[in-house]
Amino acid sequence: MPGPRPVVLSGPSGAGKSTLMKKLLQDYEGVFGFSVSHTTRNPRPGEEDGKDYHFTNREAMQKGIENGDFIESAGFSGNLYGTSKSAIEDVQAKNLICILDVDIQGVMKIKETDLNPIYISIQPPSMEILEKRLRDRQTETEESLQKRLEAAQTDLELSKEPGVFDVIIINDDLDKAYEELKAILSDEIKKVQEAKS
């Protein structure tokens, strides 16, 4: 029996992807595995190398991209981000549902591979609410905030194209969004739980 299908979670910064993902990983320990992305940006306070991201330098990452070690990669705010094939294989080797957290560019690149994940877009109820959430975090300069909002606008436009996502979840209520997410993934969750029992 083939392992469970991976899950690609996408959506603009501030839509609630990380919060929903953390809940899944907590509530279903031993079912989901997070594909840890690589980045050339510096760690934020509290972030751990190998857990939140694989922190690396531009030269090493560029070389990996050229060697075809990454299933997707993108530049944002002067930094590189990417998902390595080995990060996905590590999770799949444990027969876990691999969660990938990627932007819309990453989604388009993964569509060109044979990964066959479930594509889910997590979206804010409105741009105004998204802007408020990002401002409330107080982690952005005005310039980086504007860049994130521009990226979000592009993200939301592209996600409307038919066939890009299997499901779009509007996160205006975290509990409701989480219930929707669990319902979409219930078949894959059962596969893993049955394989373990």
Domains recognised in the chain with CATH numbers: 7-191 (3.40.50.300)
- Per-residue pLDDT of 55-114, as tens digits, reads 999 999 999 999 999 999 988 778 999 999 999 999 999 999 999 988 888 999 999 999
| 121, 166 Cβ separation under 8 angstroms | no
pLDDT on residue 77: 78
Active site residues: 44, 137, 148
Which residues, 6 or more positions from 17, have their beta carbon under 8 angstroms from its beta carbon? 9, 10, 11, 101, 122
> Which band of pLDDT confidence, cut at 50, 70 and 90, is reported for residue 2?
low
Q: How far is CA 10 from CA 22, 83, 125, 183, in A?
A: 14, 13, 15, 17
Is the model's pLDDT at 44 over the cut of 50? yes
Closest by CA to 181, choosing from 36, 30, 27, 60, is 27
pLDDT at 1: 40
According to DSSP H, which parts of 31-84 are helical?
58-66
Alpha helices in the chain (DSSP H): 17-27, 58-66, 85-93, 104-110, 127-137, 142-159, 174-196
171 pLDDT more than 80: yes
